[in-house]
Copies of this chain bind each other. A is one copy, B any other.
Amino acid sequence: MPASPYPTALLAELQAALSADAVLHGAEDLRPYECDGLAALRELPLCVALPTDREGVQAVLQICQRHGVAVVPRGAGTGLSGGARPLRDAVLLSLARLHHIVAIDRENRTARVQPGVRNLAISEAARPLGLYYAPDPSSQIACSIGGNVAENSGGVHCLKYGLTVHNILELDVLTATGETLRIGSQALDSPGYDLLALMTGSEGLLGVVTECTVRLLPMPEHVLVLLAAFSSVEAAAESVSAIIASGIIPAGLEMMDRLAIEAAEDFVHAGYPRDAAAILLCELDGPAVELEEQLREVETMLQRHGARAIRIAEDAATRLLLWKGRKAAFPAVGRLAPDYYCMDGTIPRQRLAEVLEQITAWSAEYGLRVANVFHAGDGNLHPLILYDANAEGQLHAAEEFGHRILELCVSVGGSVTGEHGVGVEKLDSMCVQFNAAELAQLHRIKHAFDPEGRLNPGKAVPSLHRCAELGAMHVHHGQLPFPELERF
């Protein structure tokens, strides 16, 4: 047992409401929960509650409210921005044991699932019906739908099929006080404010999802993947703009630069051209007759922009091989240096070339190599800054470099996070993205759901004080612009 004064009453009530084995509290049992995918930030929670149903989740929320204790909801813990990072004085509420697919409706093409159901498990269950769930974050084998809703997850195919928010219909939610809300509907639209979208991407600050109805799509009739090599990053970027401007919406449109290509090739031998300055991977899907025509058009555009060595994969095995390099890009780059800092920003597509040029210039200035991997089609960059935390000053330099990249994203009209969320990692960048009035409005919404601020405190939206200290907000005579929000 920890030496600090431990709220034994809280623990006893949780055990009575759930069961003894559904409440973890010894340091050894808590260790696996000390971080999420942002492994640099670790902290043991007060305890971990593992309810198995909605009533259990409600009991945890109600008990915590009575004790005035904060709650950090957690899905599969694969998030990359620390959204599910525990707090030492908060109960970590794991939704992992709510892992049942409740129903699949073939005719309406929907599935009702509990929040702990893994993303990929939905598509696996729907496959016999010829259906699948479209959003496919890289972590889809492990990540859960509840976490996807909390982070509004995307994936390679979100260019064509949208983010999580575009693929869900209805949510059952419990508020911080344990109240039940049914949000959205089976219909196209529902009256009242759009709480479904508000909840999606709210990073566990507004409520806890206990059930989710997702949209299923018919599996595409035909799929093919093109690989095109370019001798300059600019040419690849211009091809992306040309494809999108043509009106064709690829199922996926991904770009990697030389360092990422080399790392991926060394790691998984996908057959990428090592001498290319950049490659594009373009997936097309749809009816066979439509694909033929699209393929011709895309090939023409790629060639016009100087593409060479275009390869086309139509069978599943070759397609998988081409994607394998892209999907392994992060761990592959991880082998090039002791540490890397994965950025996640978005920019308007047509600014791609100039943003990359600036990143290259900064890379030289800081003496830190950068591998670039992007969801090019939707303007989502993932520069990976390589560094060595044990080398004097490199961690600091990498962080400063990263922060400048995000500032650049905002200044060209983009945003500080594409798909990884804000969590604790991007709090400072939010001060760059939003002005005081906008942040104040976000806090007021938090207050409208959780006036005591007990759900996932300190995440997603920075306090006005924090932004003021960063110099990103004006303070007049020691007073913040929205004194009534002082405590957030």
Residues of A within 8 A of B (CB): 106-109, 152, 154, 158-159, 163, 165-166, 175, 179-183, 185-198, 200-202, 206, 217-218, 241, 244-247, 286-287, 289-290, 292-294, 346-350, 378-380, 413-419, 421-422, 426, 430, 433-434, 437-438, 441-442, 444-445, 447-449, 460-461
CB-defined A-B contacts under 8 Å, sample of 14: A108-B349, A109-B244, A152-B194, A159-B188, A163-B189, A179-B441, A187-B413, A188-B346, A189-B415, A189-B418, A191-B426, A192-B460, A195-B442, A448-B448
Task: Give the docked Cα–Cα distance between A399 and B127 (Å).
Answer: 46
- Residues on B with C-beta less than 8 A from A196 are 197
Query: Contacts A175-B441, A198-B198, A350-B108 known; A163 to B188 CB distance under 8 Å?
Result: yes
Q: Is the CB of A449 within 8 A of B444?
A: yes
| A458→B472 CA distance, assembly (Å) | 38
**Is A185's CB under 8 angstroms from B415's CB?**
yes
Does A185 lie within 8 Å of B109, measured CB to CB?
no
The answer to whether A438 and B182 touch across the interface, beta carbons within 8 angstroms, is: yes
Q: Is the Cβ of B165 less than 8 Å from the Cβ of A193? A: no
In Å, the complex CA distance between A441 and B185 comes to 17
Complex Cα–Cα for A441 and B478 (A): 34
- A179 surroundings in chain B (CB, below 8 A): 437, 441
- In contact, B187 and A107 (Cβ under 8 angstroms): no
Within 8 Å CB of A194, what residues of B? Answer: 152, 165, 194, 197-198, 200-202
Complex Cα distance, B190 from A154, in Å, reads 12
Q: A441, B181: Cβ atoms under 8 Å? A: yes
Contact B415 A154 (CB under 8 A): no
Residues of chain B lying within 8 A (CB to CB) of residue A107: 241, 245, 349-350
- Given A152-B189, A189-B418, A346-B185 in contact, is the A195-B449 Cβ separation under 8 Å? no
Please pick, from B175, B200, B218, the residue contacting A247 in the complex, using a CB distance under 8 A.
Answer: B218
Contact status A441-B449, CB under 8 Å: yes
Would you call A188 and B158 a contact (CB within 8 A)? yes
**What residues of B have a CB within 8 angstroms of the CB of A182 in the complex?**
438
On chain B, the residues within 8 Å of A159 by CB distance are 188
A402 to chain B, nearest CB (A): 15
Point out the residues of chain B lying under 8 angstroms from A244, CB to CB: 109
- A206 surroundings in chain B (CB, below 8 A): 193
Q: Please indicate the chain B residues that have their CB under 8 angstroms from the CB of A109 in the complex.
A: 244-245
- With A175-B441, A437-B181 in contact, do A191 and B289 touch (Cβ < 8 Å)? no
A416 to B202, CA, bound (A): 27
Do A190 and B445 touch (CB < 8 A)?
no
CA distance A346 to B165 in the complex (A): 20
A158, A190, A447 interface centre (most CB from chain B within 10 Å): A190
A187 — nearest CB in chain B belongs to which residue?
A: B346
- Assess whether B346 is in contact with A189, with CB atoms less than 8 Å apart: yes
Having A109-B245, A191-B415, one finds 11 other A-B pairs with CB under 8 Å, namely A107-B349, A152-B189, A188-B378, A190-B433, A191-B430, A192-B422, A193-B198, A195-B445, A198-B445, A287-B294, A444-B449
Question: Which of A107, A188, A434, A448 has most B Cβ within 10 Å?
Answer: A188
Q: Give bound CA distance, A182 to B188, whole Å.
A: 26
Instruction: List, in ascending order, chain B residues with CB within 8 A of A152's CB.
Output: 189, 194
A151, closest chain B residue (CB): B189
Q: Which residues of B contact A201 (CB under 8 A)?
A: 189, 193-194
List residues of chain B with CB within 8 A of the CB of A241: 107
Q: A188 near B379 (CB under 8 angstroms)?
A: yes
Residues of B close to A444: CB separation below 8 A: 448-449
Q: Is the CB of B186 within 8 A of A413?
A: yes
Q: What's the minimum C-beta distance from A151 to chain B, rounded to whole angstroms? A: 10
Q: How far is the CA of A197 from the CA of B447 in the complex (A)?
A: 19
Look across to chain B and name the residue whose beta carbon is closest to the beta carbon of A438.
Answer: B181
B379 engages A442 (CB within 8 Å): no
